[in-house]
Structure formats: structure tokens, C-alpha cells
């Protein structure tokens, strides 16, 4: 999916859950109509937000 460094996707019951390096959840998605680009976008936005807080 091309997630930012330190991010990964955990699959729970065929539903992708993007997570930070510490395992905390970035966003929740449903299996119906899930677009991998939206998962990547959520991770990228979160990475930018986390960087801004540092």
C-alpha cells in the first residue's frame, strides 16, 4: 500500500487497520467498499500530524 515509514496494516477479519510503529490504530475502515488509497491517505495524514507534534 505504500504507507509511510513506521506504519503497517493489520488485517482483522478482512478489514485493514493502519497502525503506527507503536501499534496504536490510525483509522478504522469497513470491509465494504474499502479503497487501499484511503488507507494510505489516512496513514500519510497521521504521519504528517505526528511529525507536527514533535
Chain segment 20-45, per-residue pLDDT in tens = 999 999 998 887 877 889 999 999 99
Residue 14 and residue 6: Cα distance in Å, rounded? 22
What are the phi and psi torsion angles at 42 (to 5°)? -60, -40
Chain segment 5-23, per-residue pLDDT in tens = 999 999 888 888 999 999 9
pTM score, whole prediction: 0.77
Burial class (CB within 10 angstroms; exposed 0-12, middle 13-18, buried 19+) of 53: exposed
> How many CB atoms neighbour CB 4 within 10 A?
17
Going from N- to C-terminal start, the domains of the chain cover: 8-53
Amino acid at each position: 500500500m505504500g504507507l509511510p515509514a513506521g506504519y503497517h496494516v493489520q488485517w482483522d477479519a478482512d478489514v485493514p487497520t493502519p497502525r503506527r510503529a507503536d501499534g496504536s490504530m490510525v483509522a478504522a475502515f469497513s470491509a465494504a467498499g474499502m479503497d487501499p488509497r484511503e488507507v494510505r491517505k489516512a496513514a500519510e495524514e497521521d504521519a504528517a500530524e505526528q511529525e507536527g507534534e514533535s
